Chain A
C-alpha cells in the first residue's frame, strides 16, 4: 500500500506532537468513558426497572389500612378510574435466625394461598411458592437469603402476635416493591436484619385475627386517570377503616430509591462528559492553532498550488479525528469497565430479576458522534483565520502579537512590579481568550472533584447529626400495641440496659391550607435524653409545652413557617383532630415528622399516657439481651442503630474510595491536559523570547519561572472560580436530588476544596516538570537561528 505524501506528513505531524496527542486523547477518552459508562448503566438499570415493574404488575397505588372488611375491596374496584384492586395482609414481626445473634425484622406479606398475587408478583429465583395447605412455608427476599448464605429448607423463627413460630424457606424471590431492603425505620438498606417473607394469606388471617379482612390494598389505575383523584376517592372511602392514606409510586420507598438513582445517573451522564468534551475541544484548538501557525507557510503554499480550503481542512480534521477517535476507543473500553463495575455495585443494593450489564449500539454511535463534533469544533476554530488570508500574506510569518498598556497598568501597584511580572500580566490579558479558557479548564477540574466529593461530606454530616445528636440510643423496640409506660421498667431490668425511654408514635394526616401530608407524630417523654431535637447548628432544642415542632422536610412539603397553625388528624381509633401552632422548624434530615410531647398526644387521644416504642441504651456484649428481647411478647420489631450504620459505613467507605480515586484521576487528567498543553504551546510560541532572556544572562530557573508565571497566575485565579462553580454545581445537584424521604444538606468541607486544589496543583507540578526539562535542553543558538 502506498501512503500518500500528505498522509506521511500527517503521521510525522502526529509523532511530533505525541505528548499532546496523548493528553487530548486521554481527556476525550475519559469523557467517552463517563458518557458511555453512565448512559449504558442508566439504560440497563432503567430497562431492568421498567421490565420488572411491567412484568411483575407493580401497583400504581398503595393503601395501608388498620383493618377493612373484604367486601370493601369490591367498593374500591367500583371506583371510577380504578382498573383493578387487590387486598392483602402485611405484618412486621420479630425475626430470630441461627445465623445471627441479634433479632431482626421480618415483614410478612400475604399471597393468595399457594398462588402468585395479581400485583407486585414475586420473581422466584429458586424454589417455589408455599403450597396451598402449608402454614409454615415462606418465600423470602433474595438479599436476606444471600446475606445469610442460606439454603432452601432453612428455617427461622418469628414472633407473631406474641407467639413464636418456626417458618421454612421454600423459595427465594424478588419483588418490585422490595428492590431495596428498607424497613422504614432506618434510611439505610440492611439485607442482614430485614427480610420480606411471602406467606399464605390464611396463615396471617388466622394469626392476626383478620379473617375476611385486609390491612393493605394495591390498586391499578386506568390509563389517563389522574392519580390524585383516585387517591382522594380511596381516602374518602377507606378513612372509616383506618386508612393511613393512599400513596403512589412517588412515595413507595423502593421506587423512590431506584428513580433517584436513575435521575442521578442521568445528571452525571450529561454534565460530567460535557466538562471533558469542552476541555478537549479547547485543548485541541490550542494545540492545532499552534500547529497550524507553524504550518502557515505550508498551508499558503498548498493554497497557492491550487488546493481548496476543504482539502486543507480535511488534513487537519484528520489529525483532530485521529486524536479523538483513539481517545474514543480507549473511552469505550473504559466505559465498559465503568458500566460493569457500577452494575456490580448496584447489584449489592438493588435486587432485580435482570441486572446484567448491557449497552446499546446507539450509545457507541453517540460517543463517536460527540467525539467527532469535538474534533470539528477544535479544528474549525483553529483554521478559520488562516482560510481568510490570501496565500501571499499567509506565506509570511504571522505578525507578532501587538502589546499595549492596559487599563490595569495605571495602578501604582503595576509600576512597582518587576519586568518579568509585567510580561506575565500583559501576556495573560493580551491572550485573554486563551487565558480565560485555560482558567476555565482548570476550574472545571476543581468543579468535577467538588461535585463528586461533596456528597460524602453531606452524608457524613447527616449521619453525624442523625446518629450523634438526634438518635442517641443503641436500639429501638417497636411494640405490638400502645401500652402503659411502666413497661419501660421491664426493659430496664434486661441485662446491659443503661437507659430506656418510651415514646408514642401516631400515624397522622396534616392539613395546611389546601395541602395534605401523611406523616408520623412523635410523642416524646419529658426531658428525653435518648432522642434529640436539633437546629441547624446541631444544638439541642427543648420540646414545647404547647404546640408542635415540624421537621424541615415536612415544612417544605407543606410550605409552612414557624407560627403557622396546622390541623392534625390522627389516623387511629376515633380519628381525633387538633389544631396546633408550629413552634419551631427543626433539622431532622431523615424524616418528615412532627414532634411533640407524649402529654399532648394523650390529651389529643383522650387516653392515658401510653407508649408504643421504647428506645434504649445498652453496653457490653448484648448476646443475652438479644435472647431476652426475642422472648418478650409485646415486641413487634427491634432495630439497632449500629448495625445499620456499620453496613452503611462499610459500603459507603468502599464507594467513596473508588469514587474519589476515579474522580482524582479524571480531574488530574484534565488539569494535566490543560496545564501541559498550555505550557507546551506557550513554550513553542515564546521560545525565541525565552532564548533572548537566557542570552541576556537570565538563568534557567529564572527563564522557567517566567514561562510558568503566566499559567500560575491563571491557576491562582482559577481556584476560587473553581470553588465557586463547584459550590453552585453541588447545590444544583442537591436540588436535583432532593427526595421526599430525606433531606441532604449542603456541607462546606474545606478539606474537599483543598483536596481538589491539591489534585490540580499536582497535575500542574507534573506538567511543569516535563516543561522544565525542555527549557533546560533549549538550544539558544538554534532557537535564535530559527527566527533569524
Chain B
C-alpha cells in the first residue's frame, strides 16, 4: 500500500520584495512529510529553513506553487482558514520560547487547551516534559531550558498533527539542549506527532528519520537515517 504524505509541497517558491530588489528565499521546493515522521531540516543561516517552516505551518504564504495538507490546498486558504488550520493541527516551538510572560507554566498550556477540540490534560503535557512540579511558576521565574520545555508542553497539549520546532536549542547550552531534544523525541515517539526540527547544528540530524538539507533556498539533499540515534548518543 502506498503511504500518503501528511503534507506535501509542489514547486513551492517564495520571493521577498526588499525595497526595489526581489530576494528569492525558496526555489521550487518539493517535499513530502509523513504521519509520525521525525524530520530535521538542516542548513546554514539564511538558507530558507524558517521560511519553509513558516509556510508549512500556515504562518506565511508561498509566492508560487502548491502546498497540500491531507488533500486540502493550503495555498488557497484565507487568513481565517489558516488560523483554524494552525489552531487544530500545528504546534510551534521557537528559539525564544514565546511564552506569555503574564501566565504561569500551567496557564500557558491551558491557553491552548482552552481553544482546542481534543486537547490532552494540561498536567499530562507538563508531565511529558518533566515540569509538573514547576506548573505554578511564571516564565520570569524559570531557566531557558525550562521555558522551552513549557513551550513544548504548550505545543503538544492540543495533540497537533504536526510539531514544528524552529531552532529549539538555539538559545540553550548543550546540557539543557539535550533535555529539550529528549522531550521533543519523546513526544514524537509517544504521541506519533509528525515532527520537524530546523537547525543549523548537523549533530541533531542523527536523531531524525529523515534529513532534508537546504542550500540557497533549494533542497540540496534528502537523507534517510536507517538507525535513529537516541539524543544522548548525539555527538555535539
Which positions in A face B, CB cutoff 8 Å? 399-405, 418-420, 422-423, 426-427, 430, 688-689, 692-700, 702, 780-781, 784, 787-788
Contacts and interface: CB of A to CB of B under 8 A. Distances in A.
A697 B87 contact: yes
Contact of B101 (A420, A689, A698): A689
B59 A788 contact: no
Taking each of A399, A787, A788, which has the highest tally of chain B beta carbons within 10 Å of its own beta carbon?
Answer: A788
B140 interface: yes
Interface stretch (B2-10, B102-110, B224-232): B102-110
Contact of A698 (B57, B87, B90): B87
Interface in B88-115: 88, 90, 92, 94-96, 98-104, 107, 110-112, 114-115
B59 A699 contact: no
Interface in B77-91: 79-80, 83-84, 86-88, 90
A430 B140 CA distance: 14
B114 A788 contact: no
Contacts of B95: 788
Contacts of B111: 419-420, 693, 696
13 contacts: A400-B101, A402-B101, A403-B103, A420-B111, A689-B101, A692-B98, A696-B86, A696-B92, A697-B86, A697-B112, A780-B59, A784-B94, A784-B98
Given A694-B83, A696-B86, A697-B88, A419 B59 contact: no
A418 B158 CA distance: 16
B136 interface: yes
Contact of B110 (A399, A401, A419, A693): A419
Interface in B46-102: 54, 57, 59-60, 79-80, 83-84, 86-88, 90, 92, 94-96, 98-102
Q: Which 3 A-B pairs have the closest CB atoms?
A: A697-B87, A419-B111, A402-B140
Interface string B97-140: 01111111001001110110000000000000000000010111
A689 B158 CA distance: 19
Contacts of A698: 83, 87, 115
Contacts of B83: 694, 697-700
Contacts of A787: 96
Nearest to B94: A784
Contacts of A688: 98
A423 B96 contact: no
Contacts of A781: 54, 59-60
A420 B96 CA distance: 21
Taking each of A689, A693, A695, A787, which has the highest tally of chain B beta carbons within 10 Å of its own beta carbon?
Answer: A695
Contacts of A697: 83-84, 86-88, 90, 112, 115, 158
Contacts of B158: 697
A697 B159 CA distance: 13
Contacts of B107: 419, 422
A700 B79 contact: yes
Contacts of A784: 94, 98
Contacts of A695: 57, 59, 86, 92, 98
Given A697-B115, A787-B96, A788-B96, A426 B59 contact: no
A107 to B, nearest CB: 73
B158 to A, nearest CB: 8
Nearest to B138: A403
A418 B139 CA distance: 19
B123 to A, nearest CB: 15
B138 A404 contact: yes
Contacts of A788: 94-96
Given A422-B107, A696-B92, A698-B87, 18 more contacts: A401-B102, A402-B101, A402-B138, A403-B103, A419-B110, A419-B111, A422-B103, A423-B100, A689-B100, A692-B98, A693-B100, A693-B111, A696-B87, A696-B154, A697-B88, A697-B115, A784-B98, A788-B95
Secondary structure at the A interface, as helix, strand, loop or mixed, is helix
Contacts of B115: 696-698, 702
A389 to B, nearest CB: 19
Contacts of A780: 59-60
B105 to A, nearest CB: 12
A697 B57 CA distance: 11
Contacts of A404: 138
Contacts of A423: 100, 102-103
A423 B59 CA distance: 24
Contacts of B110: 419
Taking each of A419, A692, A699, which has the highest tally of chain B beta carbons within 10 Å of its own beta carbon?
Answer: A419
A403 B98 contact: no
B94 A419 contact: no
A705 to B, nearest CB: 13
Contacts of B98: 688, 692, 695, 784
Nearest to A787: B96
Given A419-B111, A426-B102, A400 B140 contact: yes
B101 A401 contact: yes
A400 B100 CA distance: 11
A423 B104 CA distance: 10
A404 B80 CA distance: 34
Contacts of A694: 83
Nearest to A694: B83
A418 B138 contact: no
A419 B111 CA distance: 5
B112 A696 contact: yes
A430 B96 contact: no
A670 to B, nearest CB: 28
A57 B111 CA distance: 80
Nearest to A420: B111
A710 to B, nearest CB: 10
Nearest to B151: A692
Contacts of A430: 102
A697 B90 CA distance: 8
Nearest to A427: B102
Contacts of B140: 399-403
Contacts of B80: 699-700
Nearest to A785: B50
A697 B100 CA distance: 14
A423 B80 CA distance: 24
Contacts of A426: 102-103
B14 to A, nearest CB: 11
Nearest to B109: A419
B217 to A, nearest CB: 16
A700 B79 CA distance: 9
A700 B92 CA distance: 18
Contacts of B96: 787-788
Contacts of A399: 140
